């Protein structure tokens, strides 16, 4: 099931009172609408590109002159993937993260957000990993790439505080999102979708 976009129940909006705890910072560049510091030089920002909204979750480095700049340690999520992460997966992630710290736990949570981006929580690890995966040629299973970010428990809690603020900011765009699976008439249609079946869809296009 890793290759398919699976929908769970929609999570209700968080308490908007959390907005007061969000640490807004000056946007790094002119394309950034909103930017927040969630701790340990990790920023969450919303940027526009060619009419689309993307949510960046990224660690920042500091130059020799003292200027902070975004590093390669991070992930960029199209607003559709961010919506799935923060509405459909959030409760499951929190539960998996809690269970993963139990000595008798056996947690191996993995959810496909689309286009080979997965969120995972593993037993014994105190973080949520959001990462791009890929399938090497002739391999049976997909493997994780370096394009992604691991958010420790404390940063994950701070990340969640940005969710209601971003929802309010981009409510119109979020309302307009239509998951691709809603347009799949059958199993073959899903197999041909590069979002739902990114590692094998070309083989089905030839059928």
Instruction: State residue 180's pLDDT score.
Output: 74
Tell me the backbone φ, ψ of residue 196, rounded to 5 degrees: -85, -35
**What number is the average pLDDT over the span 22-38?**
92
The span from the CA of 21 to the CA of 171, in Å, is 20
Instruction: State residue 182's pLDDT score.
Output: 67
> Which of 120, 43, 54 is closest to 89 using CA atoms?
120
pLDDT digits 0-9 by tens, 180-204: 766 677 777 766 666 666 666 456 5
Instruction: State residue 18's pLDDT score.
Output: 53
pLDDT digits 0-9 by tens, 94-107: 999 999 989 888 99
Tell me the backbone φ, ψ of residue 103, rounded to 5 degrees: -60, -35
Listed in order, the ranges of the chain carrying CATH 2.30.31.10 are 17-176
Average pLDDT, the chain: 85
What's the fold here for domain 17-176? Transcriptional Co-activator pc4; Chain A (2.30.31)
**What number is the average pLDDT over the span 129-156?**
94
Element (H, E) at 163: helix 163-169
Tokens, residue 156: 């994950």
pLDDT over 70 percentage in the chain? 80
E-strand stretches of the chain? 32-39, 42-49, 52-62, 68-78, 108-114, 117-122, 127-134, 143-152
For residue 117, the Cα-to-chain-centroid distance in whole angstroms is 7
Instruction: State residue 70's pLDDT score.
Output: 93
Comparing 172 with 183, which gets the higher pLDDT?
172
Instruction: State residue 76's pLDDT score.
Output: 97
Residue 1 scores a pLDDT above 90: no
Element (H, E) at 171: helix 171-176
DSSP label of 24 = B
Residue 14 scores a pLDDT above 90: no
25 vs 39, 44, 48, 126, CA distance in Å?
A: 12, 10, 17, 27
- How many CA atoms within 13 Å lie on the side-chain side of 27? 12
């Amino acid at each position: 099931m890793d290759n398919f976009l699976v929908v769970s129940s929609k999570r209700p909006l968080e308490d908007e009172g959390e907005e007061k705890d969000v640490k807004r910072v000056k946007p790094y560049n002119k394309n950034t609408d909103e930017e927040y510091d969630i701790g340990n030089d990790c920023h969450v920002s919303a940027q526009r590109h060619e009419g689309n909204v993307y949510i960046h979750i990224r660690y920042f480095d500091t130059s020799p002159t003292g200027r902070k700049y975004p590093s390669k340690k991070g992930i960029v999520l199209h607003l559709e993937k961010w919506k799935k992460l923060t509405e459909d997966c959030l409760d499951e992630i929190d539960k998996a993260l809690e269970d993963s710290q139990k000595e008798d736990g056996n947690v191996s949570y993995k959810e496909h957000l689309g286009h080979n981006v997965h969120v995972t929580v593993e037993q014994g690890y105190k973080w949520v990993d959001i990462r791009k995966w890929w399938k090497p040629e002739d391999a049976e299973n997909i493997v994780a790439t370096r394009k992604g970010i691991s958010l420790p428990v404390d940063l994950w809690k701070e990340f969640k505080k940005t969710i209601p603020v971003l929802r309010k900011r981009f409510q119109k765009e979020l309302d307009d999102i239509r998951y691709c699976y809603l347009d799949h008439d059958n199993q073959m249609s899903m197999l041909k979708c590069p979002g739902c079946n990114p590692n094998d869809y070309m083989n089905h296009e030839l059928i």
